[in-house]
Chain A
Amino acid sequence: MIIDFRQADRKEIDATLCIVGAGAAGITLGRALAGSGIPVCILESGGLEYDERIQELYDGKDAGFHDIYDLKNSRLRYFGGSTNHWVGHCAPATDLDFAPRPWVPYSGWPLTKAELDPYYEAAQHLLEIGAYRYALSDFPDRYAKIPPFDPNKIVTRVWRLSPPTRFGAKYRDDLARADNVRVYLHANVVDFDTDADAKRVTAARLHTLDGERARVRAKYFVLACGGIENARLLLLSNRHAPRGLGNAHDVVGRYYIDQLRVENAAVAAVDNEQPLAMLEGDFHRDGVRFSSLLCPSEQAQRERQTLNWAVEVSRLTDMHPWAVALRNVRDAWREGKWPDDFGKQVWAVISDLDGVATGMYRRLQPWPLSLLARCEVAPDPENRVVLSGERDALGQNKIERRWRLGPREKHTIRTATRIIGEELGRLGLGRVKLADWLLADDNRWPADVIAGPHHSGTTRMASDPRRGVVDATCRVHGVENLYVAGSSVFPAGGYTHPTLTVVALALRLADHLRHRLEEPITIKTPLRSPTSSAGVS
């Protein structure tokens, strides 16, 4: 059942499970429990369509790294959440993303990828992306045609591109038909009521933009509002916990992470397009769209002490002002010229020594390709979101985001493009030229490097409450009946887009909650394998 909360008669609502937020995580969780007999209530701030007044509640202030996606417009506050505007890139995090990496401070999840694999597999169906296979070698016809990269340096993977699934439109009917699920629209949760020692949530307090107020009582609560709002609601729930709910150790809001996307981080000059053509652009199999990735081996990450990264090969683009120099390279190549004498001279040298473009160099027409770099952002407690002094239309403190990029990210992008250069050189395919800004040994970044926007990490998962907000089951440390779903629980994000992992974690949480609700309440309940009702339709 889907209800407009503004027109509901009852302002005191009871449920067994209350889910706050109807984006990818909240809808997945509610749908997984549809038909379970467990009374579920989903509270969504927005309606079924975009509404500027509601979207305005996401407004906030940015300090530090200048992200071209601001807080208000980088996410969507209505039924379906940010799946209403996502592009659809899906890939699971890697084994190493889950592991503690000594060269990446604060890295490591309290669970392994193997534990999440069954849920990743189940999530594939919800995202309409086919089988759970992400190695390019799973597509032998294509794999056979790519250059034989050194597997100790580079592994090839694929994105699977969701149509993209709009969770609101796609799964609305499933929730509407479920006897045990009620979805309330226009129901803004402003904070949680707790018992006196803030160890148990007793109710979620609701406000509407029209001034109506209500409470939802439940046995369990799940925060599923997104990578920033999850932390915001915990910080706002400070009646009995002055620093905010679950924030005894001042971790809520800290360790904010995102992912970087750097167009034209380098150009590859190759003597013809064939060996790299299989890596460029999208391809289709069984109704699913794919694109290829060059990724570092675990060995390469360890040896070169990088964050996780990926490189995509594409034609040079005109998207970003800082790529002007590289566009000049492209434009000159198109005209059969070099943009500068030095590039011409380098190409002449390697043509002679390496046989690259034998017979071609005098025509000065190597094939220019762009290397798009994707890069993890390192966890850092100083990168954070906090409550600002400004208030929104509901009287709630807005968010201020304070974060910066550091030398690890720049080192990673520089190393990534360099490794590609080493491999193209080893294979005699051509040479790579790094963007000028990557050469400087400083921490300056082009003004329009794109971050995600994949807000994550603000309620990170850790076994130690001093290092994380939720435990491995996604339960808030110190609060026995409050869970968090979504990318805010990621302690490290890798380079892969978060949606697949968000959905997999939500399915895992659904199993955990179902198990907990079926048995006498204990604080820690072992997780089980996903059941047939865990979201596979």
Chain B
Amino acid sequence: MGRAMFNASHAPDFALRRASIKAIAGALCLLGFGRNSVGAAPIGSGDARLRAPIAALFRDEAAACAVGRRCLAGLAVGEYGALERTRVLLAPITGGAQFRERLARQRRREFARGDTAIVNGWVLARSETDLCVALALLPRD
């Protein structure tokens, strides 16, 4: 398989930025996902509480984690805007159908404006990979 890629821009180059991956990890730490995150110190005690609603989106949690890890391992990041986007994405997590609808709208908007990531060749919406990255970084109980 080829390397994983992130790139939201329309530019021909697929610039890879390891620093942005670390920014995602940093953002997740700030949001309380830090215990096992890349280079992060433990923050707070709500990791399991925050993990649960994300994990509930996936019937195959292991698959989502695997995609998230591939995103992180791919070292291929464009202008990810990690801190702001991850905060917005995760803030309203309450679980249930309402959240799924919100995510679906978000996903359609992302595809419409070309805000996609290429992961091992797959063209995925940014929020899809965000959730997988988050799940991969969250500590398990």
Contact residue range for chain B?
A: 35 or more
Nearest-neighbor residue (CB-CB) of A354 within chain B: B107
Nearest-Cβ distance from residue A40 to partner chain B, whole angstroms: 49
Which 6 residue pairs across A and B have the least CB separation, nearest first? A421-B123, A411-B12, A426-B111, A345-B63, A348-B63, A425-B111
Contacts between chains A and B (CB distance < 8 A), count: 118
Q: Which of A304, A417, A425 contacts B107 (CB 8 A)?
A: A425
Q: Verify if A210 is at the interface (C-beta below 8 Å from B).
A: no
A354 contacts across to B, CB distance below 8 A = 104, 107, 128
Nearest-neighbor residue (CB-CB) of A422 within chain B: B111
Nearest-neighbor residue (CB-CB) of A425 within chain B: B111
Given known A-B contacts A353-B128, A426-B108, A440-B2, A346 and B122 have beta carbons under 8 A apart: yes
Secondary structure of the B contact surface, majority rule: mixed
B62 contacts across to A, CB distance below 8 A = 345
- Chain A interfacial residues counted at CB < 8 A: 45
CB distance A432 to B123 under 8 Å? yes
CB distance A425 to B59 under 8 Å? no
Q: Verify if A281 is at the interface (C-beta below 8 Å from B).
A: no
Which residue, of A425, A432, A436, A441, has the highest number of chain B Cβ atoms within 10 A? A425
Q: Verify if A319 is at the interface (C-beta below 8 Å from B).
A: no
Partner-contacting stretch, out of B25-33, B81-89, B113-121: B113-121
User: When each residue 412-431 of chain A gets 1 if its CB lies under 8 Å from chain B and 0 otherwise, what string results?
Assistant: 00110111011101101001
Give Cα A462–Cα B69 distance, bound, in whole angstroms: 53
Q: Verify if B103 is at the interface (C-beta below 8 Å from A).
A: yes
CB distance A421 to B116 under 8 Å? yes
User: When each residue 119-141 of chain B gets 1 if its CB lies under 8 Å from chain A and 0 otherwise, what string results?
Assistant: 11111110010011000000000
Q: Which of A352, A422, A438, A440 contacts B114 (CB 8 A)?
A: A422
B120 contacts across to A, CB distance below 8 A = 342-343, 346, 433
Q: Verify if B24 is at the interface (C-beta below 8 Å from A).
A: no
Give Cα A381–Cα B128 distance, bound, in whole angstroms: 44
Q: Verify if B49 is at the interface (C-beta below 8 Å from A).
A: no
Q: Verify if A407 is at the interface (C-beta below 8 Å from B).
A: yes
A422 contacts across to B, CB distance below 8 A = 111-112, 114, 116, 123
Which residues of chain A have a CB within 8 Å of any CB of chain B? 150, 266, 303-305, 340-346, 348-355, 407-408, 410-411, 414-415, 417-419, 421-423, 425-426, 428, 431-436, 438-441
CB distance A433 to B122 under 8 Å? yes
Given known A-B contacts A304-B10, A418-B116, A345 and B67 have beta carbons under 8 A apart: yes
Q: Verify if B57 is at the interface (C-beta below 8 Å from A).
A: yes
Q: Which of A344, A353, A408, A433 contacts B121 (CB 8 A)?
A: A433
Q: Which of A349, A410, A419, A428 contacts B128 (CB 8 A)?
A: A349
B61-93 contacts to A (CB < 8 Å): 62-64, 66-67, 70
Give Cα A434–Cα B122 distance, bound, in whole angstroms: 6
Give Cα A436–Cα B2 distance, bound, in whole angstroms: 6
Q: Verify if B5 is at the interface (C-beta below 8 Å from A).
A: yes
B64 contacts across to A, CB distance below 8 A = 345, 348-349, 352
CB distance B12 to A349 under 8 Å? no
CB distance A434 to B121 under 8 Å? yes
CB distance A348 to B121 under 8 Å? no
CB distance B111 to A346 under 8 Å? no
A407 contacts across to B, CB distance below 8 A = 12
Nearest-Cβ distance from residue B132 to partner chain A, whole angstroms: 6
